[in-house]
Amino acid sequence: MKKETKANKNRTRMILVLIISVIFIVSAVSVAIAVRNYRLLQSVEFVYSGNLEQRSARSIEISEEEQAERVKAMKRKGQKSKFDFFCNSEIEFEYGTDYGSLVLANVSTNDCILVASILTDDGTLIYRSGGIEPGRYISQIRLFAPPEDGEHNCRVFVTAYEKDTYELIGVQYTDLTIWIGERIDAEK
């Protein structure tokens, strides 16, 4: 009976050590993710001075209802109650071209200026727009430092600012795939 009690105590200790180890690992991973996200947010939050996107900004020509449907279809993360936007989930840059088509819209119902920043997986800033006014969208972008050829998983961070004071309202982000060069689909 003493052997059984000793064996049970040892088993209980092993289980306790295992549980504490799992809790420690989960905590460490959570802290690492939080630090990474904090660093990413620090790179997209900057002092906005009122410079508006001039070159590629266009007026949105779809109804507010259709804009709302596009917003709803997006997989946005962040402060979704603060403002709305929509954008495409892929951009393709063909060989020999510097520009890609990114539709990123500041919906007509917003009362703020949006600035879009694209970051690669490793946190490198490869694009930042000027301010996009409500009811307008950008249709074409040029990357600061295009990554090498191939498929790249990135994120579009959209930062909202007050129209008059340029005070930060909030940040949202969504995933974006960028293709540099010829796109090779699995179906070919």
Q: How confident is the model over 16-43, as pLDDT tens digits?
A: 888 888 887 877 676 655 555 555 555 5
Ordered by start, the domain boundaries in the chain are 1-44, 48-180
* Fold observed for domain 48-180: Immunoglobulin-like (2.60.40)
Q: Three-class SS string for 26-73?
A: HHHHHHHHHHHHHHHHHHHCCCCCCCECCCCEEECCCCHHHHHHHHHH
Please check the confidence at residue 92 and state whether its pLDDT lies above 80.
yes
Place of tokens 């007509």: 108
List, in sequence order, the alpha helices (H) in 54-137.
64-73
Q: How confident is the model over 159-169, as pLDDT tens digits?
A: 999 999 999 99
Number of C-alpha atoms within 13 angstroms, CB side, residue 77? Answer: 9
